[in-house]
Amino acid sequence: MAIPGTARQRRRSREREIVLAAKALFDERGMQDASIDDVARAVGLNKAIIYRHFASKEELFVSTVTLYLAELAARLGGVDATGPPVERLRDGWERYADFCLEYPAFLDCALSLMRRPAYELRERVSDGVWLQLGQGMAACLGPLTEILAAGARAGDFTVPDPEFAANRLYAQTLGTMHLARSGVGVRDAGGGVLGQPFEIDPRAVRDACVSDVLAAVGAPC
């Protein structure tokens, strides 16, 4: 008979296998086009077994987002902690915006989870998954908050509340980077013509996000 510790390890291993499969499908097809059935087929499991590990599709989404957040936190950890706050902030936000460009499914998942109030999402996921999400967010927002606080202490930034600023600018960047995801804007063509689409350069959106963050804290762009 398997000891409890071994059973827990097998369960965690299976859950990670499922989440990795979901992430791979999201990266390949986008979140909206990858169903629970697709995830089940990718790992060779019955859909019912997926739901033994994840109580809802939202819970699987949250677990997948935590994988993205872990990768993003690792990238943010590469910012030179000894540099001037302005350069650290620029480097950190460039890394964040580049991550959004590289992983469009991260944008899809993160924005999807933000559509409802936090208390509603909390009701749809287990304690463990909710804790993982909080830890993942803190691992990303923590370094950005620290940079903002360091800049405020040095007089380089005008940031009364670094924690609020980090959360606001993080969410603002998610929304703006979705413009890079769509790749299309709309302009007024005039003369009674309906809105005219035009192509948007994703790199221009990325650069604008970084400039917006620097401007928001009073740093030179």
pLDDT in tens, 61-83: 888 888 889 999 999 999 999 99
User: What average pLDDT does range 110-123 have in this prediction?
Assistant: 84
- The answer to whether residues 25 and 36 touch, using CB atoms and an 8 Å cutoff, is no
Residue 55 pLDDT > 80, yes or no? no
Write down the number of H helices and E strands in the chain: 10, 2
Residue listed under structure tokens 């749809």:
124
The pLDDT, as a whole number, for residue 29 is: 65
| Residue 198 φ/ψ, nearest 5 degrees | -145, 155
Mean pLDDT, rounded, of the chain: 86
What's the helix, strand, coil split of the chain in %, to 5?
75, 5, 25
Confidence of residue 220 (pLDDT cuts 50, 70, 90): confident
Lowest mean pLDDT among 34-43, 102-111, 179-188, 198-207: 34-43
Angle between helices 104-113 and 162-182 (to 10 degrees): 120
Q: Is-above-0.85 flag for pTM? A: no
pLDDT, position 129: 86
Predicted pLDDT at 93: 96
Q: Which residue has the higher pLDDT, 2 or 173?
A: 173
CB 206 within 8 A of CB 174: no
Tell me the mean pLDDT in the region 134-152.
95
Model pLDDT, residue 42: 78
pLDDT at 180 over 50: yes
pLDDT of residue 204: 95
Q: Can you give 114-179 as a three-state secondary structure string?
A: CCCCHHHHHHHCCHHHHHHHHHHHHHHHHHHHHHHHHHHHHCCCCCCCHHHHHHHHHHHHHHHHHH
Phi/psi zone of residue 178: left (φ > 0), alpha (ψ -120 to 50 degrees), beta?
alpha
All domains in the chain, ordered by first residue: 1-53 (1.10.10.60), 56-216 (1.10.357.10)
In this predicted structure, the answer to whether residue 173 has a pLDDT above a threshold of 80 is: yes
Q: Which of 26-40, 113-127, 137-151 has the lowest mean pLDDT?
A: 26-40
Q: What is the pLDDT of residue 1?
A: 44
Is 120 or 189 the better-scoring residue by pLDDT?
120
